[in-house]
Amino acid sequence: MRRPSAAVPSVLLVAVLLVAAGCGGGPPAPTASRPAPAVADTTSGIDALFLAMMVAHTAQTLEIADLGLDRATDPEVRTLIAAVRATETDELATMRGWLREAGPSAAAAAARHDHTGHSDAAAGLARLRAAPAAEVDRVLLDVFAAHQRTAAALARAQVTAGTSDRVRDLAARIDRSRTAEVALMAKLRADSRR
């Protein structure tokens, strides 16, 4: 008796994560197994989809960071946001480059994906804009932590389901960095209450 491929739960995990994140579109096509890449850095459809999702998410991160740097007053919060902005600006350039390298069909497939439900960045930006000056640092940390938790969750799913070694490596780094940022934001929030 043949055992089911371990990739099937990975594909299902990504599908569930995408549905939970509010992505539009129909259900994914069923697959029996994850195809082995011909070259370690070949970008598959799932890799291109992740890159496209993270490009959109990172662009939103940079919007939040820019507004946060305009409004935040706490020096530690400002330092964290500036570091996030620098890191994610570099990651954004890398991901856009890899999408271009993946070719027109991968980039087009990724572009057809509805990204509107991946985060509540628009609501977070509105909340940050409306926050009274005395509340900006707290609101910024709340908005950013929620946004970065979503990035970490998407990255963890990619580590499981992706086929490109370099995209999976980037996803693992994103998961680690966003998880560490969320922990630091929680510490900054706790410190501000003292």
Could you report the per-residue pLDDT of 52-66, keeping only the tens digit for each?
999 989 999 999 999
Mean pLDDT for the chain? 80
| Long-range contact set of residues 112-116: C-beta below 8 Å, sequence gap at least 24 | 112/25, 113/23, 113/24, 113/25, 113/49, 113/52, 113/53, 114/23, 114/24, 114/25, 115/23, 115/52, 115/53, 115/56, 115/57, 116/22, 116/24
Could you give the percent of the chain with pLDDT greater than 70? Answer: 72
- Comparing 114 with 44, the larger pLDDT belongs to 44
pLDDT at 153: 95
Would you state the pLDDT for residue 192? 79
pLDDT digits (tens, 9 = 90+) for 134-143: 999 999 999 9
Residues in the chain: 194
Query: Does the pLDDT value for residue 39 go beyond 50?
Result: no
Q: What is the pLDDT of residue 37?
A: 41
Question: What pLDDT does 83 receive?
Answer: 96
**Higher pLDDT among residues 108 and 51, named by residue:** 51
Model pLDDT for residues 71-121, shown as the tens digit of each residue: 999 999 999 999 999 999 999 999 999 998 888 876 676 666 665 666 688
